[in-house]
Amino acid sequence: MKIAIIGTGNLGKSIAKGLITNNAITSLYLTKRNLEELEDLDGYKNIFLTTDNQEAVKNSDILIFAVQPAHFEKILNDIKPLLTEKHTIVSTITGFVIPKIEEEIGADKFIIRAMPNTAIAVGKSMTCICSNTQGKKRVQLAEAIFNRLGHSLVIPEAQMQAATVVCASGIAFWMRLIRATTQAAIQLGFDAKEAQELAMFTSEGAANLLITNGNHPEEEIDRVTTPKGCTITGLNEMEHKGLSSSLIQGMVASFNKISNIKKEQI
């Protein structure tokens, strides 16, 4: 696959690392305004670093856009004359809806919106995907790419804003939970390194129980909560302090912020 990542910042670089580690490329063009931060990716076979988006577009078939929302429109305009039948446009840009992309480059283009997360760097991204009418013909291609780099789900575009919060921002939310459990483990007597080890692998185990068994989280909780025991005592105290409620309210606030990002683009 001849892939270009237009805007190799935090997310773009994570995608690049995932693609390289999984041998998922024939060639990979990485573009960025300042290439210094990509030095560690220099020198790999078939990887090209450039500030020239047009060069990347000409030499690639799959174009993954990972720039800030405010920069996307101008970049689309710059590369529009170079787009041909061979190109599949994959946008990871938050809040930039397909009708707006079609307005810039035309509804005849194969347009996919993908919402991955930074765990794509280690092949563990939960990526949601949707497309325009033309892009439906290439959704399977997008699924194939993102399934190599984790797990993917095709959704209607109307759910993309929610997917951004749950999956993309979700990495930060889960990190904070892991950090908080690490802090608790330190208070309970472990040194910092051990505390993080306990927190990381316990959260991995919890997620894997659900992935492997397909159970509801409460079924797994019932297996752990001994009557009159320490687990239910801790859980109830967390809920008295608003654990579930604060997570839900935070995610709804995050969702509402995306509506403002969209308005800022108009």
Ligand X SMILES: NC(=O)C1=CN([C@@H]2O[C@H](COP(=O)(O)OP(=O)(O)OC[C@H]3O[C@@H](n4cnc5c(N)ncnc54)[C@H](O)[C@@H]3O)[C@@H](O)[C@H]2O)C=CC1
Ligand Y SMILES: O=C(O)[C@@H]1CCC=N1
Bridge partners of residue 29, in order along the sequence: 4, 48
The interface mask with ligand Y, positions 158-177, x = CB under 6 A, is: ------x---xx--------
# residues contacting ligand Y (CB under 6 A) = 4
Measured at the CA of 212, the angle between CA 209 and CA 218, to 5 degrees, comes to: 40
- Nearest residue to 164 via CA among 201, 235, 99, 114: 114
CB neighbour class for 225 (10 Å; exposed up to 12, middle 13-18, buried from 19): middle
Q: Of these, 4, 15, 93, 199, which contacts ligand X (CB under 6 A)?
A: 93
What is the 8-class DSSP label of residue 161? H
d(CA 127, CA 139): 13
Q: Is 150 flagged in the annotation as binding? A: no
The item of ligand X, ligand Y, none sharing an interface with residue 148, based on CB under 5 to 8 Å by kind, is none
Shortest gap between Cβ of 10 and ligand Y (angstroms)?
A: 8
Q: Is 54 flagged in the annotation as binding? A: no
Q: Of these, 118, 125, 132, 182, which contacts ligand X (CB under 6 A)?
A: 118
Phi, psi of 58 (to 5 degrees): -60, -35
Q: Is 8 flagged in the annotation as binding? A: yes
- Nearest residue to 161 via CA among 102, 97, 249: 97
Q: Is residue 127 near ligand X by the rule CB under 6 A?
A: no
Shortest gap between Cβ of 168 and ligand X (angstroms)?
A: 4
Q: Of these, 168, 185, 195, 199, which contacts ligand X (CB under 6 A)?
A: 168
d(CA 104, CA 96): 11
Judged by CB, which is closer to ligand X: 6, or 89? 6
User: Where on the chain is the footprint of ligand X (CB under 6 A)?
Assistant: 6-12, 31-33, 53, 66-69, 71, 75, 92-94, 115, 117-118, 168
User: Where on the chain is the footprint of ligand Y (CB under 6 A)?
Assistant: 94, 164, 168-169
